[in-house]
């Protein structure tokens, strides 16, 4: 079976890497990879670490790209590749513009689509933006939907998607996390390289690890988040470490507001093993990332999510994640509470991860071979 996997951003690459590894170990699959290059540097960091060598690279990223430009350029580029390669199936991941454009391009060429990480919903088409709409569209075109959890399957069923097309597999990010975590434990030279480049927390301090990039927080939301972090850094017993997303709508305001605080360390995006190491060192993670909400419970780290809704309510129910929105005062209050109240802290660190056992990719490949 000839499968063309298409992805383009950092999180898609991390989550598709285990699937590509499972394809490579199976002689019934001819696995082709097309990256759109929706991200450049942040994608290449992942391709390097997982040793992924794409057959096609559309190299599409432009500074501060718009959604319509991005979608139309990808639609044309991907269509050309599908026309040339005539795959039996296209595989896409998640809810990015790459996922949407690849799904649409495959549909126009009448090639069946498998959607990894199907069925996530907030129920609000603008939250997150544009991801909620992207994943609804992809789920309604795909004929194999790999749902990470039973709840995601339920979301799909309630939209009228046929049960026979849905496969509950767990999330492949857990496969990627376990692989990387084990590599970090076993590969001493990788471990010391990563530790040298990430010297946090410093003596007698607790590490607060921060990421943030959601489009719906651009402007006022991000400003409020930065003000909260500045305030928290006055405590003196914390190192606030923030690997800043390269989107100029994030990088510029964050750098402008937070560069001068002594306990705030703004970094370039970390490669995946360095970020996994950073999560392991963290006392608290403060983020709006989807992937981090899925990973952190496996490491026993509490996550304060700077959003008002999540498509991953499983981790909120499990207790590992709390939604805190983007208001300065709420973020400050919730971080203080986690730092100072041991009971609250412990209540968020001992949860079972609902997103899987690290074998999601094998299940996806098995289903594709038997049903695809």
Active site residues: 95, 117, 131, 213, 215, 245
Nearer to ligand UD1 by Cβ, of 185 and 256: the residue is 256
- Pairing verdict, β 30-35 and 2-7: parallel
- Determine the 3-state secondary structure of 325 from DSSP: coil
Cβ 10 to ligand UDP shortest distance, Å: 5
Of the candidate residues 40, 109, 205, 223, the single one contacting ligand UD1 (CB under 6 A):
40
291's contact among ligand UDP, ligand UD1, none, with CB below 5 to 8 A by partner kind, is ligand UDP
Residue pair 135/319 in contact by the 8 Å Cβ criterion: no
Phi first, then psi, for residue 110 (nearest 5°) are 55, 40
292 lies in the site for ligand UDP, by CB under 6 A: yes
The C-alpha atoms of residue 177 and residue 197 are separated, in whole angstroms, by 20
Nearer to ligand UD1 by Cβ, of 39 and 363: the residue is 39
Cβ 357 to ligand UD1 shortest distance, Å: 24
Of the candidate residues 24, 41, 76, 125, the single one contacting ligand UD1 (CB under 6 A):
41
133 lies in the site for ligand UD1, by CB under 6 A: no
- Determine the 3-state secondary structure of 144 from DSSP: strand
The footprint of ligand UD1 on residues 242-261 (CB under 6 A) is: 246-248
119's contact among ligand UD1, ligand UDP, none, with CB below 5 to 8 A by partner kind, is none
213 lies in the site for ligand UD1, by CB under 6 A: yes
Cβ 289 to ligand UDP shortest distance, Å: 3
Sign of the CA dihedral with 256 first, then 210, 15, and 281 last: positive
> Residue 182 contacts by C-beta under 8 Å, 6 or more apart in sequence?
none
Phi first, then psi, for residue 23 (nearest 5°) are -60, -45
269 lies in the site for ligand UDP, by CB under 6 A: yes
Closest CA to 119 of 142, 165, 151, 160: 151
Interior/surface letters 57-72, b for 16+ CB within 10 angstroms, e for the rest = bbebbeeeeeeeebbe
Of the candidate residues 291, 302, 356, 358, the single one contacting ligand UDP (CB under 6 A):
291
Per rule CB under 6 A, count of chain residues that contact ligand UD1: 24
290 lies in the site for ligand UDP, by CB under 6 A: yes
Closest CA to 50 of 23, 27, 26, 20: 20
The C-alpha atoms of residue 326 and residue 306 are separated, in whole angstroms, by 5
220's contact among ligand UD1, ligand UDP, none, with CB below 5 to 8 A by partner kind, is none
Q: 204 in the Ramachandran plot: left (φ > 0), alpha (ψ -120 to 50) or beta?
A: left
Nearer to ligand UD1 by Cβ, of 131 and 314: the residue is 131
Nearer to ligand UDP by Cβ, of 153 and 213: the residue is 213
97's contact among ligand UDP, ligand UD1, none, with CB below 5 to 8 A by partner kind, is ligand UD1
Of the candidate residues 50, 56, 179, 272, the single one contacting ligand UDP (CB under 6 A):
272
282 lies in the site for ligand UDP, by CB under 6 A: no
Q: Give the number of other Cβ atoms within 10 Å of residue 222's Cβ.
A: 22
295 lies in the site for ligand UDP, by CB under 6 A: yes
Sign of the CA dihedral with 131 first, then 137, 143, and 145 last: positive
> Residue 174 contacts by C-beta under 8 Å, 6 or more apart in sequence?
294, 295, 298, 353, 355, 356, 357, 358, 360
Per CB under 6 A, residues contacting ligand UD1 are: 9-11, 38-42, 61-65, 67, 70, 95-97, 130-131, 213, 246-248
Residues in contact with ligand UDP by CB under 6 A are 10-11, 14, 173, 211, 213, 243, 269-270, 272, 275, 289-292, 295
């Amino acid at each position: 079976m000839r499968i063309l996997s298409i992805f383009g951003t950092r999180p898609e690459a991390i989550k598709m890497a285990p699937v590509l590894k499972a394809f490579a170990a199976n002689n019934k699959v001819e696995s082709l990879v097309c990256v759109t290059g929706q991200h450049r540097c942040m994608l290449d960091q992942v391709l390097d670490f997982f040793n992924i060598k794409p057959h096609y690279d559309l190299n599409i990223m432009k500074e501060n790209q718009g959604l319509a430009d991005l979608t139309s350029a990808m639609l044309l580029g991907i269509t050309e590749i599908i026309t040339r390669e005539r795959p039996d199936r296209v595989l896409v991941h998640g809810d990015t513009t790459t996922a949407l454009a690849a799904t649409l391009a495959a549909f126009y060429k009448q090639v069946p689509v498998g959607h990894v990480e199907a069925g996530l919903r907030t129920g609000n088409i603008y939250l997150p933006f544009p991801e909620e709409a992207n994943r609804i569209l992809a789920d309604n075109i795909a004929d194999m939907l790999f749902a990470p959890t039973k709840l995601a399957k339920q979301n799909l069923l309630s939209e009228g998607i046929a049960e026979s097309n849905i496969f509950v597999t767990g999330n492949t990010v857990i496969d990627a996390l376990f692989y990387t975590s084990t590599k970090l434990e076993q590969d001493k030279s990788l471990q010391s390289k990563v530790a040298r480049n990430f010297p946090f927390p410093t003596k007698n301090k607790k590490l607060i690890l921060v990421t943030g990039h959601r489009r719906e927080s651009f402007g006022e939301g991000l400003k409020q988040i930065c003000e909260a972090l500045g305030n928290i850094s006055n405590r003196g017993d914390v190192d606030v470490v923030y690997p800043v997303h390269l989107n100029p709508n994030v990088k510029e305001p964050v750098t402008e507001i937070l560069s001068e605080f002594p306990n705030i360390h703004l970094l370039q995006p970390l490669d995946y093993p360095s970020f996994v190491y950073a999560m392991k060192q963290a006392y608290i993670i403060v983020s709006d990332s989807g992937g981090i909400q899925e990973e952190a419970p496996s490491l026993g780290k509490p996550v304060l999510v700077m959003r008002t809704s999540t498509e991953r309510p499983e981790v909120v129910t499990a207790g590992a994640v709390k939604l805190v929105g983007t208001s300065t005062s709420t973020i400050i209050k919730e971080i203080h509470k986690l730092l100072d109240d041991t009971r609250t802290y412990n209540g968020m660190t001992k949860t079972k991860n609902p997103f899987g056992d690290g074998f999601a990719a094998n299940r996806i490949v098995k289903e594709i071979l038997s049903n695809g």
